[in-house]
């Protein structure tokens, strides 16, 4: 697999997914950006896992495809944070409500 570097949230999620299913992650290369992973996979070097939104153009062009893997996609949780003592602007308040 071509994967993100140690310490990235994506790498952590992939490792947790593999561990929970009893598989060892066979790392062929570590990349620091999703774009580098896409290029490596497009060149036929290995398989990779990236967020779907990062490969929309490649999917449309037929350069990459999504494999049907049981219990995927990996669901990640995102959090909106702000400093407690900071007063939010009106647009920041709207964004918080939207999220």
Alpha carbon distance 14, 73 (integer Å): 10
| Domain boundaries, given as residue ranges, for the chain | 2-74
pLDDT band at 70 (very low <50, low <70, confident <90, very high): confident
pLDDT band at 73 (very low <50, low <70, confident <90, very high): confident
pLDDT band at 99 (very low <50, low <70, confident <90, very high): confident
Under 8 Å between Cβ of 27 and 75: no
Enter the pTM of the model.
Answer: 0.73
Per-residue pLDDT tens digits for 9-60: 889 999 999 999 999 999 999 999 999 999 999 999 999 999 889 999 999 9
pLDDT band at 74 (very low <50, low <70, confident <90, very high): confident
Angle 97-54-31 (CA atoms, 0-180°, nearest 5)?
120
Cα 89 from chain centroid (whole Å)? 30
Whether residue 76 has pLDDT greater than 80: no
pLDDT at position 60 is 95
Alpha carbon distance 33, 10 (integer Å): 10
Alpha carbon distance 3, 85 (integer Å): 38
């Amino acid at each position: 697999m071509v994967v993100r570097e140690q310490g990235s949230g994506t790498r952590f999620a992939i490792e947790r997914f593999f561990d929970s299913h009893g598989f060892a992650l066979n790392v062929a290369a570590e990349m620091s950006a999703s774009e580098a992973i896409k290029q490596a996979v497009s060149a036929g070097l290995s398989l990779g896992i990236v967020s779907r939104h990062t490969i929309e153009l490649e999917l449309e062009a037929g350069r990459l495809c999504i494999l049907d893997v049981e219990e995927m996609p990996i669901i990640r949780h995102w959090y909106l944070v702000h400093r407690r003592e900071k007063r939010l602007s009106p647009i920041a308040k709207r964004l918080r409500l939207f999220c």
